[in-house]
Amino acid sequence: MILAILSGPAVADPTPEAPPPTLLAGTAAKGAVLDPIFKQFVVDRLSCKFSEEKKVALLVRPLKSTGTIYFARDKGIARTVITPKPQSVVLTKTTLKIRTAKKTEEIPLDKSKDLKAFALIFPTLLRGERTELEKSFDIAMYGSDKDWWALAFTPKTDSLKKMIKRVVVYGKKTEAHSLQVVEANGDTTDTRLTDIVRDKAVTDTEIATAFGAP
């Protein structure tokens, strides 16, 4: 579930284009030169639709899902799966809450430093906090903000490496396109984003519905 909620930030290109397959083979940039890209992610509120495909080594066919994602700076991330089965996941700075038709599960993030670092990649990215993310990840940018680019997050600690191999956010010019999570066991989750809405265009009613009544 942690992996699922990380699948997709910022602004998406509505065209069916895909990032160049050799994008990550280029020369990587690091440090403060990444700040212009990070500034593109900064929002107070965000909503989008997503379509996701998870490839599992033991399964012949990938697992597919669709739904919506909401971000509110003062609340966190709310991810609602619509198909194949309804599910709600709400992530704050301290807690992950997973709700299905049958049960609700609440997981404190403070139990694991690595779990917390991984779970909070998405909201930290939407706050544009590069230095905070660099506490747990090596961050490299490939390509150029003039065309296709990719931000690759690689774990620094051995314990975090046992959870994930890499997280990559893909984008073109000023728009983010998709995100890929590669787990340590080789399973991959690819998420495509559409219908992005930012800041004041996301209403109080939408946020209240996504996160549930306080």
* Domain assignments of the chain as residue spans, ordered by start: 2-10+26-211
CATH number of 2-10+26-211: 2.50.20.10
Residue 175's pLDDT is what? 78
Distances 159 to 36, 52, 137, 141 between C-alpha atoms, Å: 31, 27, 12, 24
User: Chunked in runs of 10, what are the mean pLDDT values of the chain (214 residues)?
Assistant: 39 59 90 88 93 93 96 95 95 92 90 87 90 95 90 95 94 85 95 92 96 72
Residue 110's pLDDT is what? 86
